Amino acid sequence: MGRKQLYAESELLDVTKRLVLNHGYDGFHLKMLSQHLPGARSTIYQYFSNKEEIVAACMKRVISNVYEKVSKVDETDAMNALQEVLTIYVEESKLHQLLGDSNKINTNNSEAAARDLAFVESVHLDLKAQLMRLIERAQQEGTLRKEVPLPVLVGTYFNLFNTPNMLDAPALKWSRLLFDMWVGGAKG
């Protein structure tokens, strides 16, 4: 008879996310993780074999949640879709910070980590393609300036959700402020 698990995989991944964001991949270790979860450290191994698998699974989970939400966005009106997508990204504003450490994961130690990181990269490309498609459509419809190159619009949009929320505004209000700034610029 196996030992009872004291926490769910989702709880383990939530704690992993918080710790990796606070300490970075290099500062994160299984002893630290076990100190933030009930029960013995060995319980972690019921879910994952090593640090690489845990962090890669965490990254996969976060980007999967974002992808699931943005996939449901109605793209009929490109500008409305861009606003809605931005709100989703703002709600998960630490996405890029978390994924920034993906290149540090040694996938030679884990086939599962390699699969999860390949998935993360694939979804990241899909998200970028969606954004490019929406911005290009908005340019064609005349709601965004055509003379601004697509990579500039995409790059500045991506940087919007990395903008620190110094107003501590709710995600919807913050994303609307950022979107208005992106569309209208700072010109008075």
Asked whether residue 65 carries a pLDDT value surpassing 60, the answer given is yes
Asked whether residue 91 carries a pLDDT value surpassing 70, the answer given is yes
Mean pLDDT over each residue of the chain, to the nearest integer: 92
Kindly report, residue by residue over 44-53, the tens digit of the pLDDT.
Answer: 999 999 999 9
pLDDT on residue 1: 42
Percentage of residues in the chain with pLDDT exceeding 70?
97
Asked whether residue 102 carries a pLDDT value surpassing 90, the answer given is yes
Domains in the chain: ranges and CATH: 51-184 (1.10.357.10)
Question: pTM to 2 decimals?
Answer: 0.89
Stronger pLDDT, 109 or 56, i.e. the higher one: 56
Residue 63 contacts residue 120 (beta carbons within 8 Å): yes
